[in-house]
Amino acid sequence: SYKIGFIGLGQMGGRMCKRLIEGNDVIAFDVNKNRLKQVVDLGAKEAKSPKELAAYSDFILASLPDSNVVESVVFGQDGIIEGCQSGAVFIDLSSSRPASTQKIALELKKKNVSMLDAPVSRGVAAAEKGTLSMMVGGDAAVLEKCKPILQILATDIYHVGDIGAGHILKMLNNLVSSTCFIITAEALVLGAKAGLDPKLVNDVLNASSGRSYATEKRFPDYVFKNNLNSGFSIKLMHKDISMCLEFAQQMLVPLPVGSSVVQTYTTAMSQGRGDDDNLCMVEIMEKIVGVKVRT
């Protein structure tokens, strides 16, 4: 049994926290009181602040929207940095900005607290079942120490490099997954306009070289069932690929295809669709052309 603090109980964090409550001593915090109550009802202790949570925990886990929020929880008023105990580990499960992660790790080190970046993939269903994939940056020895906890959340844990490397890889993953998703939606919309059956088009893509996670999972399991609720919002995907683009600019690596995928999401954001599910991108594209790929 480990003393674990969990901050950020949203779509992903709420599900991960619930898994950890079983068999561990968990203290939780979220600014959203309803979400906090849900895990307290399952046996977690309630923290009044990240500081109080950190003072109680050997392992501090966070699943927050973005690096601005992660920094505010670490450095802000009653933040982790004020409460953390020497020897503790901070694990950022969010999809955060690598440079911010490296800065946080340096500051925590001054308090003798280590850090891992451990962003995840595969969505809310995998968070629920503990079958996430996880890409970890940081010290190998620290990862070994944290593995018993991380294995409650993820079945595939990759050590991908030093601190920040996990967050870099997560941006790369979402660059690829958003691109495959958007380009598949474009193809299906075009096919529908040309009179082809969208499901048949998808089946053939799946059996051919156009196959991807989008054709294998997102369209058959969600879109074609008219279920546009995967638990991942447009604004979070927009954040991930915008961050990736910004990073690529700094590295002087052109991303002509990635840039245009970001613009697709920016259009949705400007229409006020940020809080809608990522899968609603299909609905937005259907509307533009005046066809339906959903049955």
Q: Does 79 bind ligand NAD (CB under 6 A)?
A: no
Work out whether 138 is an interface residue with ligand NAD (CB under 6 A): no
- Closest CB to ligand NAD among residues 30, 283: 30
Q: How far is the CB of 192 from ligand NAD (least distance, A)?
A: 27
| Minimum CB–partner distance for residue 32 and ligand NAD (Å) | 4
Query: Residue 38: exposed, middle, or buried by beta-carbon count in 10 A (0-12, 13-18, 19+)?
Result: middle
**Residue ranges in 112-131 that form contacts with ligand NAD under rule CB under 6 A:** 120-121, 123-124
Name beta bridge partners: 294: none
Identity at 42, one-letter amino acid code? L
Question: Rounded CA gap, 116 and 21, in Å?
Answer: 21
Tokens of 234: 């447009």
Q: Are 45 and 28 in contact (CB under 8 A)?
A: yes
Angle at 146 between CA 140 and CA 152, to 5 degrees: 130
* Cβ closest to ligand NAD, residue 2 vs residue 75: 75
45, 110, 129, 170: the catalytic one is: 170
d(CA 128, CA 132): 9
Closest CB 174 distance from ligand NAD, rounded Å: 8
Does the footprint of ligand NAD cover residue 63 (CB under 6 A)?
Answer: yes
Say if CB 93 and CB 61 are below 8 A apart: yes
User: What SS3 state is found at 283?
Assistant: helix
Query: Binding to ligand NAD (CB under 6 A): which residues in 85-114?
Result: 94-95
Considering the rule CB under 6 A, would residue 183 count as an interface residue with ligand NAD?
Answer: no
For residues 92 and 5, the answer to whether their CB atoms sit within 8 Å is no
Interface residue with ligand NAD, options 18, 35, 97, 238 (CB under 6 A): 35
Residues in contact with ligand NAD by CB under 6 A are 7-13, 29-32, 35, 63-66, 69, 72-73, 94-95, 120-121, 123-124, 231-232, 236, 240
Active-site residue list: 170
